[in-house]
Structure 1
Amino acid sequence: MLQDLAGLCAGSVTRVVLTLNQADEPPPFPEDQSWPFALQLRRNARPLGFGANHNRALAGAAEAFVCVLNPDVRLQPQAGDALAALRAVACRPGVGCAYPAQVDAQGRVQDSERALPTPAALWRRRAMGRSEARVDWVNAACLVLPRAAWADVRGFDERYYMYCEDVDLSLRLRLAGWRLERAPVAVVHAGQRASHRRLAHLAWHLRSLLRLWCSPVYRRARTLLPPDTRAADRIGAP
């Protein structure tokens, strides 16, 4: 990921914060390696959740835009500077979060745009194999936000250790009047959900879902957000 940023996005990235979530995790590059951007390392004494790590990495950011980025995302050379394309969309008035299309390693489009995870919607998707009929929130593997929007909603809710923090963030942005908008660029997200393979991750997933369903944000979203949203470019529209 760092090599992708250096090779493709050097013109739009000024600073990268890399979090080593394990105390004994070595940096993934030689100490004397140079980069076309400022690279800051954060090393945790104990593992933190996805939201907490990003909140700490982006705390005090002075840049006009911030980026949430998974290390298992890869940028496509043919797409050029994907972050510049995302930033161009994030510059539009009212946009609180710009995001790319996501494809897997074989180029198949992933379902990174999702409907509000009601029990009925999850049943239709998981048990009946139906595709999403609406877009209420977006996967947080790769997001670019104006710093004003990030500050407005105070980043991720750290009570979600893992899973559903992106649902909550998307809903809070929309409830605050910001739009989520897809940029005309794609990234490769090759990671697989660990909740499909590990019991600990499945437990985190279920715990986060229960927290979401009990939250005021979820209840407000079900009441206030438009029920007929079908396209990503309409998210958050009156």
Structure 2
Amino acid sequence: MTNSVQSSDQLPEVSVIVVSFNTREMTLDCLRSIAEQTKSAHEVLLIDNASGDGTAAAVAAEFPGVRLMAEAENHGFARANNLAAKGARGEYILLLNPDTVVLDGAIDQLLAFAKREPQAKIWGGRTLYGDGSLNPTSCWGKMTLWSVFCTTTGLSSILQQSRLFNPEGYGNWQRDSARAVDIVTGAFLLMKRDLWNHLGGFDLSYVMYGEEADLCLRACAIGARPMITPEATIIHYVGASQQLRGSKLVMLLKAKIRLIRDHFPGWQKPPAMWMFRLWPLMRLWGTKARARLKGSSATRQDNILKLKEVWSRRAEWWNGWADI
């Protein structure tokens, strides 16, 4: 039984926004888990970015109560969420990826946590891979001059369990305690609709990646202190593979450079940007060195080719995403 809100005169407590693109079966599983695991009064707004796999038709057939926006073009993640949020009626907005499964009343648990910790203003939970192991990407520490140094030199990869040398990944913390974080990932992010509107939603300059980092940092600048809780746990499938993809890495670099431009203190921007620009080259050299020492596996050779591609395309990401 679910308290999903259908009528226009009854307002939901939370508006769950899902953005889909060619993920029909995962999206349907996600929507089923919301319906099965959520007792709080809620509405689901699903915006489909012109999927070619029949996602919109399948959702309309199985979930007539979902507020479906079947778009004729792919708006991307940030713009699609902004469009959907304009129609949200809940006191809270929950961003939820389509490749997730809600476990054990996670949305209800996250709402309860938000009410216990209202000063946080942004809330997230714990994410697991499909096999039940920890997916640590539910939250991140913000980029700093020190973290950029650790990333560029490889210290954050070599010493992943160290809070000192892997500050953005929070070291060995298993996401098994409630605590303040800098950034809650947009795969499972709750905030009040009033705050979302005050911030103007996602900055569309972040065409891909970095949107939630920018959103959280802008919220922190006006007093938010984001938190996550292990009581709200979901499965989030994406991220299990460590294989590099050239175009994805190019977009990620553009987002990171943009975050440095937007959020670092003035005097720190030049050294941070120059250090971070060297990261793909340093990783390329490191991967080549490991190949010489440990043998040239197919994965290492593939990563070397991808990193060479990324470095050859540095003019694309050198200055980050442009203003829109």
Task: Give the TM bin, normalised by the shorter chain.
Answer: 0.7 to 0.9
Answering whether residue 114 of structure 2 is matched by residue 90 of structure 1, we say: yes
Counting aligned pairs with the same residue, the percent is: 24
Q: Pick closer, same or farther for the CA change 1:162–1:127 going to 2, 3 Å.
A: farther
Structure 2 CA distance for aligned equivalents of residues 207 and 169 of structure 1: 16
Larger Rg: 2
Q: Name the counterpart of 2:225.
A: 179
**Given residue 36 of structure 2, which amino acid in structure 1 is its aligned partner?**
G
Shift of 1:109: 1.8
Structure 2 CA distance for aligned equivalents of residues 218 and 51 of structure 1: 22
Q: What's the CA shift string for 1:174-229, capped at 9, x where partnerless?
A: 111012121322111111278944322121111111111111x3438x89xxxxxx
Work out whether residues 115 and 121 of structure 1, in 8 Å CA contact, stay in contact via their aligned partners in 2.
no
Structure 2 CA distance for aligned equivalents of residues 213 and 65 of structure 1: 29
Answering whether residue 33 of structure 2 is matched by residue 7 of structure 1, we say: no
Answering whether residue 142 of structure 2 is matched by residue 116 of structure 1, we say: yes
Q: Pick closer, same or farther for the CA change 1:129–1:32 going to 2, 3 Å.
A: closer
Work out whether residues 195 and 202 of structure 1, in 8 Å CA contact, stay in contact via their aligned partners in 2.
no
Shift of 1:23: 5.5
Work out whether residues 195 and 201 of structure 1, in 8 Å CA contact, stay in contact via their aligned partners in 2.
no
Counterpart of 2:205 (choices 159, 173, 181) is 159
Q: Pick closer, same or farther for the CA change 1:53–1:196 going to 2, 3 Å.
A: farther
Question: What is the 5 A alignment of 1:185-196?
Answer: 185-192=232-239, 196=243
Counterpart of 2:82 (choices 48, 55, 61) is 55
Work out whether residues 97 and 187 of structure 2, in 8 Å CA contact, stay in contact via their aligned partners in 1.
yes
Q: Which runs of 5+ in 1 are unaligned?
A: 224-238
Q: What's the CA shift string for 1:135-174, capped at 9, x where partnerless?
A: 4222221011111221222211111111111211111111
Answering whether residue 157 of structure 2 is matched by residue 126 of structure 1, we say: yes
Work out whether residues 89 and 95 of structure 1, in 8 Å CA contact, stay in contact via their aligned partners in 2.
no
Work out whether residues 182 and 226 of structure 2, in 8 Å CA contact, stay in contact via their aligned partners in 1.
no
Shift of 1:25: 4.4
Shift of 1:84: 1.0
Work out whether residues 98 and 182 of structure 1, in 8 Å CA contact, stay in contact via their aligned partners in 2.
yes
Structure 2 CA distance for aligned equivalents of residues 85 and 187 of structure 1: 11
For the aligned residues, what is the CA RMSD?
Answer: 2.6
Q: Name the counterpart of 2:10.
A: none
Q: Pick closer, same or farther for the CA change 1:74–1:219 going to 2, 3 Å.
A: farther
Q: Name the counterpart of 1:168.
A: 214
Shift of 1:128: 4.2
Q: Pick closer, same or farther for the CA change 1:140–1:34 going to 2, 3 Å.
A: closer
Question: What is the 5 A alignment of 1:14-53?
Answer: 14-22=42-50, 24-27=52-55, 29=58, 31-34=60-63, 38-53=65-80
Q: Under a length normalisation based on structure 2, what TM-score does the superposition of the two structures give?
A: 0.60
Counterpart of 1:147 (choices 193, 211, 218) is 193
Structure 2 CA distance for aligned equivalents of residues 18 and 139 of structure 1: 19
Work out whether residues 48 and 161 of structure 1, in 8 Å CA contact, stay in contact via their aligned partners in 2.
no
Q: Name the counterpart of 1:102.
A: 127
Q: Pick closer, same or farther for the CA change 1:30–1:62 going to 2, 3 Å.
A: closer
Structure 1 CA distance for aligned equivalents of residues 203 and 242 of structure 2: 20
Structure showing greater relative contact order (alpha-carbon pairs closer than 8 Å, 6 or more residues apart): 1
Q: Name the counterpart of 2:183.
A: 137
Q: Per residue, is there more helix in 1 or in 2? A: 2
Q: Which runs of 5+ in 2 are unaligned?
A: 1-29, 171-180, 270-324
